[in-house]
Amino acid sequence: MSDFSRYYNAVKYLEGLVNIQSGPNYMSGKTHDPSIYIKRMQWFLDLLGNPERGFKYIHITGTAGKGTVASTIHYSLHTSGHKTGLFTSPFVTTSIEKIQVGDLYIDPLEFAQIVEDLKPKIDEAFAKCPWGGPSYFERFLAIALIYFKKMQCEYVVLEVGCGGRYDATNVIPAPEISAITNIDYDHMHILGKTLTKIAGDKAGIIKRGSKFFTTEARPRLRKIMEDICKEQGPEFNYIKGGNKELVEAMGFRAEEVKLPARFEIVQEKPIVIIDGAHNRAKFRYTAEKLKQLTFDKLHLVVALAANKEREIIEEIPADVVYPTRFQNAERKCMNLGGYTDSGQALDAALAAARSNDLVLVTGSFYLAGELRTRWYPEEDILVHRSAFPHL
């Protein structure tokens, strides 16, 4: 057994700061100014000596597919001989999955050391920053940038956490390329309740001096991006097709990249699929993927975050549903009834499923990560610094 106590303590420390508040108007209701996220992140990076400088950036947002696109571009750059860092969100099972250089996650003990070194700076930010101390996401982004700088990365591929305009990743200077995969309803409590508002927020990553690409097919949404490109000056490129075409149009090889919890088959007889779909667009995509498989009954183990729409579950044509909860304390879970223990929900589905059936775990990356440990324990991921330690 490996001793990862320093890593677990570092993660616990970061999670323990989630509810700390400081600074005027910090997360304060209707008077809240979303620009504080960028101001707060920039203040923190200035305090750290600006680790965000000196990279060639690829910046990716969108409602669905942005993680896959970011990972594919990272893999293309890495296999072409470029030292490349990848920052994605959220992680599936363990925190180091958010930060990767080449084909390895950050070393968990190196992660712990960076956190230790950051503690005095985090304390100073909470004490002095006019907009409060850095959020959980912002702290992780800072850790990633420090690590990428230490590893002397040439390129950094950044997946936006939420939206674009006010996302912490948008502190970066003009990227080489920015892209929006598509627009659909998600994070409406933050981005707005209409597709035009969501598109406008995501289009906030468009910057002068970059090339911009999108596969969003609806002209009224695409026009929002075109107008910002005209204002800012970047080259606008509309790509017909899906993620593969988008990646190739951006100048990278679109080789298939294996990712955890993306319609991931972890077992046969019965088939068990772990999937992180968590909005309507992704549920529909998962439903389409299911049509490509042959099985008798579909057993659905599902949990949703509290801010999601319960109705999206109906997008999956399940024969039996096992509603449950994920255990992550930082994100509120919707009460769907059923099982309070996600492991028991999975046990029930596996017990009921026959060899020709399919068990699908979906609704949240948190749920996917918890239950994926049945097949890929967290310690194995930490030891091998890979989502697929047995391959």
Residues composing the chain: 391
Reduce the DSSP state of residue 274 to 3 states and report it.
Answer: strand
**The two three-digit tokens of residue 389, written as one number:** 């330690």
Helical ranges in the chain per DSSP H: 5-16, 36-47, 66-79, 108-128, 136-150, 188-191, 195-202, 219-232, 243-249, 280-290, 342-352, 365-372, 378-384
Q: Which residues pair with 320 in a beta bridge?
A: 299
User: Measured between alpha carbons, how far is 375 from 316 in angstroms, rounded to an integer?
Assistant: 24
Question: Do strands 99-101 and 298-302 pair parallel, antiparallel, or not at all (unpaired)?
Answer: unpaired
Burial of 234 (0-12, 13-18, 19+ CB in 10 A): buried
In tens digits, the chain (391 residues) has pLDDT values of 478 999 999 999 998 886 565 444 434 434 478 899 999 999 999 999 999 999 999 999 998 889 999 999 999 999 999 999 999 988 999 999 999 999 999 999 999 999 999 999 999 999 999 999 999 999 999 999 999 999 999 999 999 998 889 999 999 999 999 999 998 876 556 666 689 999 999 999 999 999 999 999 999 999 999 999 999 889 999 999 999 999 999 999 999 899 999 999 999 999 999 999 988 888 999 999 999 999 999 999 999 999 888 999 999 999 999 999 998 766 789 999 999 999 999 999 999 999 999 999 999 999 999 999 999 999 999 999 999 987 6
257 contacts 75 by C-beta, under 8 angstroms: yes
Q: How far apart are the first and last CA of the chain?
A: 20
Reference 270, options 225, 320, 305, 207; nearest CA is 320
What is d(CA 74, CA 177) in angstroms, rounded to the nearest whole number? Answer: 13
Quick check: 157 and 87 in contact, CB under 8 A? yes
Using alpha carbons, list the distances in angstroms from residue 254 to 4, 97, 195, 245, 289: 35, 21, 28, 8, 19
Sole residue written with tokens 């005209």? 230
Q: 317: buried, middle or exposed (CB in 10 Å: 19+, 13-18, 0-12)?
A: exposed
